[in-house]
A and B are shown apart, each in its own frame.
Chain A
Amino acid sequence: MGEGGLTQLAAVVASPAPPRTRRSPARGRRRKPILPRVAHFASFGAPGVLVYLCFVLAPILISFGYSLTNYNPFNPPVKFVGLENYRLLFTDEQFLIALKVTTILTVIVVVVPNVLGLGVALLLDRKGWLYNALRSVFFTPVILSSVVVSIVWSRLLDDRGPLNDLLRALGIEHPPGWLSDPDVALYSVASIVCWQMLGFCVVVYLAGLQGVPAELLEAAEIDGAGPLRRFRAVTWPLLAPSLTINTVVLLISAFKTYDYVKVITNGGPGSGATATIAFDVLQTGFDSNHVGYASAMAVLMLVIVAVVTTVVLNFLRRREVDL
């Protein structure tokens, strides 16, 4: 799953959280001597915090530091250039294309699995072996490695692959170059990501549907509400938390799409038709060795992810309360 499948926030929003119990009233009031408290933190808290500090927080600060320089390991000396890298980014054709590619990909990957996932979940929301089996079918891609998914789909969508063979057999003489046409490739890659993420949305929506009380639906039916009306008035509002989970998870994982691009198109075809920001960061940093410039890109990426995720999460949470 790594990047492609579930993001961390996935299960995060959804992890088991039993009801809070009351703290015993005595806590917090008695002050313990400092030494045992330090020892307590050192043994329980410090190891985890330390690794996080070394491998996440410090690297972010280092990235920011790099982004203010022209650092290139093969082209010393390192010079401080202030915000020059950031200024350059906004006039850099390639970066602006990557920004566009990432935006298109993210919008598709947030919307399509959400919509189709809801549809499939409504379809499978029944008891019986058939529906159980189909649930497993839809969920299987979620646990596959994005590398495996990428390779399989590139075979399937190859210019001489099974899909185009089928289209030719149906009489279409020049089927699209799904992965070789720069105008189409991005949508093909987006569809592949959607295919892998669909099962995740299905499972989350199915769990949400299980939480819709049957009495409510029956009451609405007695009141004369048709199926569409029942869905809009009863089911959909109760699915608000599922929508939140799916949207946030899809958003975070779509934004950092790298594996699929690396394996399927390596950024192409043409000049960066499928190159996302995540892909460009590593390409610029490791292949072209413009570490300073790549770091500016990375920092900007982090800012965009943080802002967009926070705004979307807050919006969806407020919506949950309102409904």
Chain B
Amino acid sequence: MTRSWLRPAVALLVGAVFFVPLYLVLTNVFKQGDLIAKDPASLPLPPTLANIHAVLTRPDGLFWVSLANSVVVTVLSILVLTVLSAMLGHYLARSGKRWTKVLTLVLLAGLMIPPQVILIPITDVLRVTHLMATLQGLILFNVGYYVPFGVFVFTGFIRGVPVELEEAALLDGASRMQVFWRVVFPLLRPATASVLIFLGVWIWNDFIDPLIILGPSQGTTITTGIYRSIGQYQADLGSVFALMFLATLPVLIFYLALQKQFVKGLTGGATKG
């Protein structure tokens, strides 16, 4: 009585409709430029690598410069964020004082602050410190803005790690730093993975902050590079699609490689009890 074909058929249909925009990117990356405007939905026959080649060999090196900037900003931001928020999270989780509880709340409130609320004064702060329009400025901003997320993940996790291990190591005469890096930090791997994955993707895809902090002339990240290129090559859609494809590739590979951890980090709290 159960119509066993119904569910897969409906699922496939819904999935196909949902997939259309993704298909549009994939097909146009490998299609000749003039065909994209004329017939955007057709299959790329014959397929061509000309668009990708054009982006990779642009004389101004837009792709490579943007890629380098994005890699530097993302990698340095998430490394600093992991170190700072793991230590801060540990401090907050292990201290039962009232003022540290207040501090934790103040930090967590940062999770819902829209960047637009702080970006105008941020540019003034960065200008005063001569960090405006520099990668260092953007990295520092990222660290400040995302520290609440790191602290949230690490504090929650560290509360579940037995404190006796640390106390034993401290009694044995190890310093706090040694205890943290040799004993505690290795136990935090699931939390560290969550922080690295989420912040990595967010910072890689971030648009508004690099747009404003790096400014119009001082280099681009991958996302602001794409944004600028739509103005420049209105006519050359092939390059825009190829640039989007190449910009997404690293995240996509990252995601496919770590798919399990992705979903786990996302849904750890979604089940009751």
Using a CB–CB cutoff of 8 Å, the interface residues on chain A facing chain B are: 1-21, 23-24, 27-28, 40-41, 43-45, 47-49, 51-52, 54-60, 62-63, 66, 120, 123-124, 126, 130-131, 134, 136-141, 143-149, 151-153, 155-156, 161-162, 165, 195, 198, 200, 203-208, 210-211, 238, 240-242, 245, 252, 255-256, 258-259, 262-263, 277-278, 281-282, 285-286, 291, 294-295, 298-299, 301-302, 305-306, 309, 320
- Check B124–A211 contact: CB distance below 8 A: no
CA distance A262 to B223 in the complex (A): 13
- Check A282–B116 contact: CB distance below 8 A: yes
Task: Please classify the interface of chain A as helix (H, G, I), strand (E, B), loop, or mixed, using the class held by over half of its residues.
Answer: helix
A145 touches which of B7, B41, B151, B207 (Cβ 8 Å):
B207
- Check A252–B112 contact: CB distance below 8 A: yes
- Check A1–B202 contact: CB distance below 8 A: yes
CA distance A177 to B247 in the complex (A): 30
Closest residue of chain B to A281 (Cβ to Cβ) is B116
- Check B156–A62 contact: CB distance below 8 A: no
- Check A204–B270 contact: CB distance below 8 A: yes
A-B contacts, 21 of them at CB < 8 A, read A2-B205, A5-B201, A5-B205, A11-B266, A15-B152, A15-B268, A17-B156, A45-B87, A55-B122, A60-B121, A63-B120, A134-B11, A141-B22, A144-B205, A145-B222, A147-B207, A149-B21, A156-B21, A204-B270, A286-B120, A302-B113
- Check B207–A62 contact: CB distance below 8 A: no
The answer to whether the Cβ of B251 comes within 8 Å of any Cβ in the partner chain is yes
- Chain A residue numbers with a CB within 8 Å of B112 are 7-9, 252, 305-306, 309
- Chain A residue numbers with a CB within 8 Å of B147 are 48, 51-52
A130 touches which of B11, B40, B103 (Cβ 8 Å):
B11
Using a CB–CB cutoff of 8 Å, the interface residues on chain B facing chain A are: 7-8, 10-12, 14-15, 18-22, 24-25, 40-41, 84-85, 87-88, 90-92, 96, 103, 106-107, 109-122, 124-125, 140-141, 143-153, 156-157, 159-164, 167, 176-177, 180, 190-191, 194, 198, 201-209, 212, 222-224, 226-227, 230, 237, 240, 244, 247-248, 251-252, 255, 259, 263-273
- Chain A residue numbers with a CB within 8 Å of B119 are 282, 285
CA distance A203 to B207 in the complex (A): 24
Closest residue of chain A to B259 (Cβ to Cβ) is A136
Closest residue of chain B to A10 (Cβ to Cβ) is B266
- Check B223–A52 contact: CB distance below 8 A: no
